[in-house]
Amino acid sequence: MKRQLIVLCLLILLLGFPYVAGAQNEEGGLASMASQNEMRSCLKRVGGEIGGHESSAKMLLAGATLHLQGDCLSNAGCEIWRYNSENDDYDVTKKELDACKNGTKTNNCDSEHIQHLEEELKKQVRPDETYDGVKEFVINNGTSFGTGPNGFPMVPTGKVDINVTDNFAGHVTYSYYAVGEPNAVALTQPAGGGSTNEAGSDKTQIQGTFGLDTITAAPTEESENNNCITLYWDPFGRVFDSVSLDPIPGVDVVLIDNATGKPAVIQPPSKNWTTTKTDNGVYNILTDHAGDYQLNITPPPSHTFTRQVNIAATYSTVYSEIYLPGDVFYEEPMPAVIPPNFDYSKYHHDIPILPVGKPYIADPFDVFVIRSSVRSADLGSMINYSGKATFPRARVCMVGFESKRTYGDCVNAEKYGAFSFNLAKTDSPIEKIMFVAQRVDLTKPLAKTNAINLSKLDVSDPYLATVEPILPYIEGTAADLNGLPLSNAVVRIRLKAGKRIVFETKANAKGYFKIESKGLPFLNYYLEFTSPSLSTPLIQSTSEFVQKNKKYYGNKNGGSNASKSSKANNKSTDTFNPDTPGSNVQASTNTFSFTKLLITGIIMLLLVVVLIAVFIYIKKRDPTPQTFSE
């Protein structure tokens, strides 16, 4: 009898354990590649081949093979994951159109310009913000390392050197990460490119390490040491005031066929003209066949387009490849394979126009950070914040939404408006952050200053660029809109990019729960609560959660969160104690959901009942007397 009972227990363990293990890892998937505990690093573009243009229903996409390099920090190897933003040009166009229609803005808001803006919106590609694994790539410095936990190919630990081929939408930022399981002994993350701050500034901030790499269907090499990518169409450039150097919106630019003297014939869905907007005065026109071309513009009444123009001496810090009336350039579609040292300058044309009276000075309304361009990522010891401003070399500051304090040092964007901040994790804010941009005088040397004017800042502006804090831990009470605790609420952590669940747990009877860093993504995320007392799931941002649970995060908006979390990690208890900020909850630190645990328990119970029933049935059918010996 003892032997049979032992066999029965072994059967239960053997049959039940695989399901428990599966339930434990089933939520892993994306969570394992998004967790703050994973080893991760940004890959940087060091080259690329731009293929043909693939038509879509609304806009053209550029085919590209990107040469990416970086480091796999995990001893277990890394999968390659790609993040892409939304279309920042859509935000710029929509904001300008709304302002023209509601009277907020009157400059360059005639009926023709409004019609042009509406046409621009119709042809925009609007990809969702996503984070997903790369299914195919070519390893240049070794062989494949097998398949990762999510079914994507892996690269071995160490230096990463790969080619990735894909189609890329214009005005969308793409970032690539090498992500793998944590090491028993963490490797040191390479410092990467970029320059540290000057003496006397905040040493915890590194400016420019993870900026925006601007490439085009004819890619430039503006920020070749950086990792992120955005696409523009060729030929491209800016229209600007020759005296103030401020970019000018609302200017029509037309591509002229030099042979006919008429607007070039361009196959749909592209077109031979564009209108500059508030985004750095940029225009983009695609050529689909080789030929000699000119550019013609319709300047505003305040300016003339003339060859008799003197440009401010400092223009070369922002503009290049100056185009004047009558200039002829030869252009052809990009070759299928870009040779080394390819000359991209022939695809770029900046256009100065001469003011008739006073030079044009950008309206403060037109100088802002583009909402859909901003993003942040926890890169281990630091958090990277980046985005794009609508004014070249604009001063950009990170300002607390509640505290109105400035985090780190303000930075100057590069000449296309891209900017980047790196803050040490211990100094990163735990409140929502606003990105505030201000015009700078491009005719003078840039001054290093953290002074920023917030008097005209409208925090209710739907286009205000903000990011939520990436918290290193979450602790507090799940509550409804009235502040009442949600007893036994299911708590889900969803990645903002793609809205997929990366972690799930359950609050206790008082609504209290805690999630450590291993259950939290390194990209932006939010919380979702479900409860029988709620008719629909309750969505809550990380800053909203902190505001409602301040006692678990100290009194400061930044600086204390990481050290507090590390102390909390050393505590462990199997009992709920919501009055103790550092207390741990076993149910909250599991890597699988409470729902799956409950299902697992029910199945195990049924399995035990079935096996006992089978055992009793066999016992009754066996007439042989049982004898036992010591």
Helix extents (H) in 491-621: 542-548, 561-569, 586-589, 594-621
- Does residue 262 or residue 51 have the better pLDDT? 262
- Segments making up each domain of the chain, as ranges: 2-23+595-621, 191-210+362-463, 469-591
pLDDT digits (tens, 9 = 90+) for 37-91: 677 788 887 765 443 333 333 334 566 778 888 899 888 899 999 988 888 888 8
Q: Would you give the distance in Å from CA 47 to the centre of its chain?
A: 21
- What angle do the packed helices 594-621 and 2-26 form, to 10 degrees? 160
* Alpha carbon distance 412, 208 (integer Å): 10
pLDDT for 26 equals: 34
pLDDT digits (tens, 9 = 90+) for 416-454: 898 998 898 888 899 999 999 999 999 999 988 888 888
pLDDT for 336 equals: 52
The CATH number of the structural domain formed by 469-591 is 2.60.40
Helix (H, G, I), strand (E, B) or coil at 286: coil
Which secondary-structure segment (H or E) carries 206?
strand 206-207
* Alpha carbon distance 453, 450 (integer Å): 10
Helix (H, G, I), strand (E, B) or coil at 321: coil
The average pLDDT across 122-151 equals 85
| CA distances, 216 to each of 230, 269, 599 (Å) | 8, 18, 52
* Alpha carbon distance 370, 417 (integer Å): 10
* Alpha carbon distance 219, 84 (integer Å): 18
pLDDT for 182 equals: 81
146 has a pLDDT exceeding 70: yes
pTM of the model: 0.72
Which of 283, 280, 505 shows the shortest CA–CA distance to 415? 280
Q: How confident is the model at residue 278 (pLDDT cuts 50, 70, 90)?
A: confident
Cβ count within 10 A of residue 266: 17
Bridge pairing between strands 351-355 and 236-241? parallel
Q: Would you give the distance in Å from CA 291 to the centre of its chain?
A: 38
Contact 348, 235 (CB under 8 A): yes
The average pLDDT across 126-155 equals 87
pLDDT for 48 equals: 53
Angle at 588 between CA 585 and CA 590, to 5 degrees: 110
Contacts of 111 (CB under 8 A, 6+ apart): none
pLDDT digits (tens, 9 = 90+) for 339-357: 445 566 777 899 999 999 9
- Does residue 498 or residue 444 have the better pLDDT? 444
Contact 553, 564 (CB under 8 A): yes
Which secondary-structure segment (H or E) carries 6?
helix 2-26
Helix (H, G, I), strand (E, B) or coil at 551: helix
Per-residue tokens: 362: 């950008």
* Alpha carbon distance 231, 219 (integer Å): 8
* Torsion 416-417-418-422 (CA) sign: positive
